[in-house]
Each structure stands twice: as C-alpha cells, then as structure tokens.
Chains A and B, each alone.
Chain A
Amino acid sequence: MTGEPAAARWRLAVDAEQCIGSAACAGACARFRMTDDGRAEPVAEVVDAEEAVRDAAECCPVEAITVTDADTGAPVAP
C-alpha cells in the first residue's frame, strides 16, 4: 500500500484524552508537534498524503492518532 495518488489529502486528529505525550509522532513526522502542556497535535488538520504521516500514526503507543481520507472519510491509519 505505498504510493498514494498524488492528489490524496488526509485529515489528521489527535485524541488529547488518550495522548500520553510520548512525542513518538512529533519526532518522526513534521506534521505533528508537541503543545506546551506536553500533548501532541497536528500542525494542520488536512495535509497531503505522505507515508511518514501514516507511519507516525501507526507508531503511536496509545492509538491516539487517526488519519482519514479528507474526501471520503475512509480510515487510513492506524
């Protein structure tokens, strides 16, 4: 499942209740950053599809990140 169509756009969300602030996502992908209170958040809600985003979501230890197709709402990760 590599090589998304170039036009694909993904919607990112971080569940702040679930997030434990491990920074596993922010360290791996520039589309995520840590807030002052130590939680992760997406830099932008909708981004161009890129493998690093999917990988970061799949590495979250508490499955707090969801990535969905911005057009169809179909789940991308985890």
Chain B
Amino acid sequence: MTTHSRQVRDFPFETPARLSMEPLFATLRRTEPLSRVRLPYGGEAWLVTRYEDIRTVLGDPRFGRAATLHDAAPRIQPDPAGEGVLMSLDPPDHTRLRKTVAGVFTKRRVEELRPATERIAGELLDAMEATGPPADLVTSFALPLSVTVICDLLGVPREDREKLRRWSDALLSTTACTPAEMAASTEALADYFATLARQRRQQPTDDLLGALVARCDSREGQLDEGELVLLTRDLLIAGHETTASQIANCTYLLLQQPHGAVRPDADAGMPMSAVEELLRFIPLGSGSFRARVATEEVELCGRRVRPGETVFAPTVAANWDPEVFHDPGTLDWERSPNPHLAFGHGVHHCLGAQLARMELHVALGALLERLPGLRPAVGEGEIEWKTGMQVRGPRTLPVRW
C-alpha cells in the first residue's frame, strides 16, 4: 500500500448550502473511487463513492458494524455507541433483535396505518387553515405528523412529545450539542422508556411497546430488558427526526418546481415514483456516515482492504452516480427503475423504510391536494437550515397558500 502518498481529506465534507450535494463525491467518483479520509474522532478510514462499491460495503457480510464499537474507531460522533442498538450488531445477533420488531414495519402492516396517518395529516391541515397563512410547515405539519405516527405506534403518550423531541435532537447532534449533553439525553431517554415498560408490566397494552414487553417476559427470551429500552428509544428517534426532515425537504423542493410539475392523482394521490425520486435526490445525510469494518480481507476498487480497516460508504453519493442514474442532478418524476439506496442496503436496510414511504406519500399528497396554492412565505435566503446534525433539513419553512 502506498497510502503515504495519498491526500487525506477531512470527512464528512463541508455541507453545502440548502440541499446541495457535496461536490467532492462526484470528483472522487471519477478520480479516486477509493480514497483516504480523516474523521472528527478515531483517525483515518477509507471512503468509497461509486454506487457498486457502496452497495458492496453495505451488503457484503465481510463488512460489519460490531467492530466499530470501540474508542479508536473512526466516526463522526463522540460516542462510539451513539448510532443505535441495531446499528451496533452484526448477524446473527442483529437478526435476532431485528426480527422482534420487523413484523410491525412490513409493507402490509404499514398499510394498515395509512387511514390513521391520513386522518392526522387532515387534522393538521385543518388547523393550519383555521389559523390562516403564513405558517411554519416544520412545526405545524412535518414534525407533528411524524411524531404522532411513531408515538401512536409505540404507545408513547402524546403529551410527552415535546420533552422526547429535545432528548432525541441531542442524540442526533454531531457538533450542535456537547458530549455531556448527549450523554444526559441518552440516559434520560433510557429512563423514560424503562418507566413506560414497567407500566406495561402492570397494565398490558396492545401497542408496540406492550408487545415488546410481553415478548421480553416470555419464555422464548429473544429480547432482554436493556435491549427493549434501547430499541424503543432508537425507534422513536429514527421514526420522527428523519421523516419530519424529509417531509420538509420534499416540500421545499416541490415549491421550487414550476407550478403543477407534480400533480397528485385524484385516486392515487402523489405519484409514488415522485416520492422515490425525492428520496434519491435529497442528500439527507442520515445513516450515510455510519462506517463498516472489514472482518476479513476484501478487494474493493482493485485494492485490498485489510481486516480491521474502516470504510465509509455514503448512500447519498451512491444515489448520484451517473453510471446508475442518468442525469442524477435532475429530478425526474417518472424515473424507472430507481434503485436508490436512500434507506441503505443489506442487513441494516432502514427498518422503518416502508413506514417512511407511506408517511411521505400521505403527507405530500395531502399538502398538494388541500393547499394547491402552497408557496414559500419568505425569500430563499431567509430559510434557516439545521447545522451540526446528522440529518439535513430546514429549521423552519414559512409557507402561504
């Protein structure tokens, strides 16, 4: 290896304004598809930027996540275990834990939640119309919709949403919070879910938390108390911040398009191909910067990656590879096929992918149908964007209709 002669770049790369893609991904894809990067914690690692290589790293069992859980691991967050309990396991432990909740998030089960989601979206739009324009789309629609859906699914009381959101935000921080603040929020969330689990033992419920408590206490013992608490915490965080940010991001992009560019069908609502294209196009960030470690020697881009070496395989870079997606920087509402990796690939493929798809479909369809005159209420430069977080999105999105 002649790594000494290579340029080592700081990673993650500087985030461009709004939802623009990091331009270095395209450059590296052409000139240096396997490159060296330096992380904020843990030193250097490899970075791949081509679709095929990214899919290999995420899908090949010779790359694992469990080996990233030590203090010297190259990573973007201070806490090596800060990326979630499922994300910290490899098969077969991962599969054992994931299957305890996977059944709730299948396409079929998620479709059962569609009518309730449509009702929630409708009520939020009623409230917006009653108050009248302008409104902040993030706080009056995107956030309450996704938080209500995941809270109802888990069985978390709606009145606790505000404090849960504060803790959850801290856990998704990269530089926005101090390590101490993140640790305090981690503990607060664990305590909160441990208390809810105790309540379920005294008073069983038919929500997801109740079902997990019952499974935890059953003879099969596929789930222990500590895992239950971590798992429910992760579902809450993953379930609301990412989806809420995506609803806002998609709306932001739709409002930039020529009027009527995406027209909801009277029967089918928002075209699903348009939802998929938005998922491909938007560099959300989430999950994109979670490394894998080679557990044995693997050839990647014609080079040998040795056991123990860390590789970053950002899905946002895969989704803009022109070898797979013609004219990737242009939104094509009918793109087909669209094998984007917005939800990842392999064993850690987003557990909530089908739920997120359904929520986006309902949310965007309802917005376009109920508020056809929807438009930004402020100039482009006045929209404030989140910084120092794993997930990109507008902090507020003022709209009129």
Contacts and interface: CB of A to CB of B under 8 A. Distances in A.
Nearest to B94: A28
B104 to A, nearest CB: 11
A38 interface: yes
Nearest to A62: B107
B103 A78 contact: yes
B178 to A, nearest CB: 35
B106 A23 contact: no
Main DSSP-derived SS at the B contact region: helix
B38 interface: no
- The size bracket of the interface on B is 20 to 34
B41 interface: no
Interface string A38-63: 10000000000001100110111111
Interface in B327-350: 339, 343, 345-349
- The size bracket of the interface on A is 20 to 34
Interface string B310-342: 000000000000000000000000000001000
B220 interface: yes
Interface string A1-42: 110000000000000001001111011111000100010000
B349 A61 contact: yes
A22 B339 CA distance: 10
Contacts of B339: 21, 38
A60 B106 CA distance: 7
A27 B106 contact: no
Given A26-B346, A28-B94, A34-B59, A61 B99 contact: no
Interface of A: 1-2, 18, 21-24, 26-30, 34, 38, 51-52, 55-56, 58-63, 78
30 contacts: A1-B220, A21-B339, A22-B343, A22-B346, A23-B345, A23-B347, A24-B346, A24-B349, A27-B60, A27-B61, A28-B92, A28-B94, A28-B347, A29-B91, A30-B61, A34-B59, A51-B92, A52-B95, A55-B96, A59-B95, A59-B98, A59-B102, A59-B347, A60-B102, A61-B102, A61-B105, A61-B354, A62-B106, A62-B108, A62-B354
